[in-house]
Chains A and B, each alone.
Chain A
Amino acid sequence: MNAYFSWPRFLAVLLKEFVQMKRDRLTFGMIVGIPIIQLILFGFAINTDPKGLPAALVVNDESVFSRSLVRSLENSQYFKFTHRATSEAEADRLLQLGDVQFVLVIPSDFSRKLQRGERPQLLLAADATDPSATGNALATLNQTVKQAMDRELVGPLSGLKPGELPVDLRVQRRFNPEGITRYNIVPGLMGVILTMTMIMMTALAMTRERERGTMENLLATPVRPIEVMAGKIAPFIIVGYLQVTLILSAAKLIFGVPIVGSLVLLSLALIVFIAANLSVGFTFSTIAKNQLQAMQMTFFFFLPSMLLSGFMFPFRGMPEWAQWIGEALPLTHFLRIVRGVLLKGNGLAEIVPELWPIGLFMLVAGTVALKRYRQTLD
């Protein structure tokens, strides 16, 4: 037998590892679960060419031309006119709130000018906070408009369709006019980093107590679960703010991200978001038997958060079921808040619709954590 490597000994270790792996249900679940989740998310959910993007329509001139234009845009599959606004202001608000990705304004003298060959203005405003979400739609825009106009300008009007576009198409990339990707990524990173670190640190902090046996002493004292939970969470809120300060400084000084909105408002939203993540971490710590399991659970939550929140890929590019999962995650809503406040200058009224889902999530996770945290060892 080879003195340096013994196959039976190797096999002994190998088998032992498999048995242990089988015993450790959670690790086993991760081994199977993570690839499946990744395959589903990357394979099906993620679509970097989002279609059917919601758009608002402001028509000040009902005509065959405007109808044809709308139809062509919808046929291109990139646009879906979900809202009809009576004024530009109303449509702009929808854009601000993130309810629509585009606003198309057809001016009142559109068909008259078109027929006279005066190249009427056609305004398309896009929410460009996430350039990758609107990129392809805007790239095909010229072609689509041209085809629509060519179809309608027949007979006596066919002379009006020379090589160039018969309309003056103006595209406004709102909130991120240069379409700079990092304007979108850097604020988003704040949410991602907080999710990761906040959950992991609380999950580990509590599990450590159990693993090292100090839990027994803690339970024997008169201290109450809510006191332990609050006492454990509070320091991490401070840690969270420290991270935020770091990221914001980097965003401003290194990446030149514009900060349009109020930082005070952002801080307010941050409390809720951080507390929500800490509650998740606390819940994990009541389930995990050791620190490794706590880490694994953190990743199990972190992965879908990163992939389905609209951080990595445009939210509207995902199928509906994936969007539903995304809607349930705090990070999704926080990304909308942080991008809204920093890039769009959103105020309290605009962020409330995204803030309450995070608050609700926090309440649910916090309740589960408190219910699961036992004051006894059994």
Chain B
Amino acid sequence: MNSAAANAVVSPSAEAVIDVKGLTKKFGERTVVDDFAIRVNRGQIYGFLGPNGSGKTTTIRMLCGLLTADAGEGQCLGYDIRRESQQIKRHVGYMTQKFSLYEDLSLAENLDFIARVYDVKDRKQAVDKTLERLGLTARRTQLAGSLSGGWKQRLALAACLLHEPKLLLLDEPTAGVDPKARREFWDQIHDLAADGLTVLVSTHYMDEAERCHALAYIAYGRLLANGTATQLIQQSGMTTWSAAGPDLHDLARELRGQPGVDMVVPFGTTLHVSGADATQLEQSLAPYRERTGYRWVRIEPGLEDVFIGLMNSAKDNFQ
């Protein structure tokens, strides 16, 4: 973890690139984003997590002026998110969840179009440079529609970077992309952040979450937790035990519903058993720890345990 940027999460003196509060969006009767607040500092990579349909895309769209918030206020790059969306659009690179460049245009043609729309100076050079930077030069005349997922994602990133934005909003950029391409993508994100670019990125991958300087977790349109990964784990107050042994599936079935056991999640050849109340959990587990053939270890809960826990408690509160 980059400690300087991580410290920035708690340091109010750092320059905020995104600072919004009370953000609310309704579609008809349904409140999809409810009283959402976030503060992202310059140079940070901020991870945005939450189950499908929790309002991540909607929030990102409100930040870049694609949707008008029903309530809430704040600024993005120093511009008011409600009144100055035109200026925000100029300085933001937004990568949509679904590939949204023209499949019937070649890579170079797509980038050329984007460059013109943003009125990029020295357009031809800028396009060439961006193609080069993302290793797309060899495919410049290929139609975007014929690219595979990983290459499409690279092209989309190229299109976001072309006008040298100050803020990147990436909506599940690595969904459906192979691990090697994901790794390269994230290396690139870190390089960009090191150069001062701020990044808000939504993801479902835990390894990606761990590579972020700070995280926000949203469910049912509400911000449930935010902070660094370490902070989130500490704040969760969760205790986790790992069990290894035979017939884990049967063990899991027995453990579910016991007092103090909030979560039983199989992780490969082990079982993670977690609960918010450490004493009660320990009491419930005591008889099982006597069983022969099992090895019980108390472990630090992972981010995934924390998020599933958050999700479960949210379900109780909002459903």
Contacts and interface: CB of A to CB of B under 8 A. Distances in A.
Interface of A: 212-217, 219-223, 376-378
Given A212-B103, A220-B65, A376-B66, 8 more contacts: A217-B94, A217-B101, A220-B89, A220-B96, A221-B89, A222-B117, A377-B61, A377-B66
10 contacts: A212-B100, A215-B100, A216-B98, A216-B100, A217-B94, A217-B159, A220-B65, A221-B89, A222-B117, A376-B68
A212 B103 CA distance: 9
Contact of A222 (B86, B99, B101): B86
B102 interface: yes
B296 interface: no
Given A222-B86, A222-B117, A213 B96 contact: yes
Contacts of B94: 217, 220
A377 B100 contact: no
The 4 nearest A-B residue pairs measured at CB: A217-B100, A220-B94, A221-B117, A213-B100
A222 B90 CA distance: 6
B118 A221 contact: yes
A212 B102 CA distance: 8
Interface of B: 27, 61, 64-68, 86, 89-90, 92, 94, 96, 98-103, 114, 117-119, 159
A214 B100 CA distance: 4
B64 A220 contact: yes
Contacts of A376: 65-68
A347 to B, nearest CB: 42
B98 A213 contact: yes
Contact of A219 (B66, B102, B119): B66
A307 B145 CA distance: 42
Tell me which of B27, B96, B101 has the highest count of chain A C-beta atoms within 10 A of its own C-beta. Answer: B96
Contacts of A219: 66
A217 B97 CA distance: 10
A230 to B, nearest CB: 14
Nearest to A227: B117
Contacts of A216: 66, 96, 98, 100
A376 B68 CA distance: 7
Given A377-B61, A378-B67, A213 B117 contact: no
A162 B184 CA distance: 106
Contacts of A215: 100
B61 A217 contact: no
Contacts of B100: 212-217
Q: Point out which of A213, A220, A376 has the most chain B C-beta atoms below 10 A from its C-beta.
A: A220
A147 to B, nearest CB: 70
A57 to B, nearest CB: 63
Contacts of A217: 94, 96, 100-101, 159
A377 B100 CA distance: 14
Contacts of A377: 61, 66-67
Contacts of B67: 376-378
Contacts of B98: 213, 216
A305 to B, nearest CB: 31
Contacts of A220: 64-66, 89, 92, 94, 96
A214 B65 contact: no
B96 A222 contact: no
B102 A222 contact: no
A377 B62 CA distance: 10
A222 to B, nearest CB: 5
A166 to B, nearest CB: 75
Contacts of B86: 222
Nearest to A215: B100
B232 to A, nearest CB: 30
Given A220-B96, A222-B86, A376-B68, A214 B102 contact: yes
B277 to A, nearest CB: 43
Contacts of A214: 100-102
A90 B318 CA distance: 82
Contacts of A223: 117
Nearest to A221: B117
B99 A213 contact: yes
A220 B102 CA distance: 14
A217 B114 CA distance: 10
B116 to A, nearest CB: 9
B115 to A, nearest CB: 11
A217 B92 CA distance: 12
A95 B119 CA distance: 55
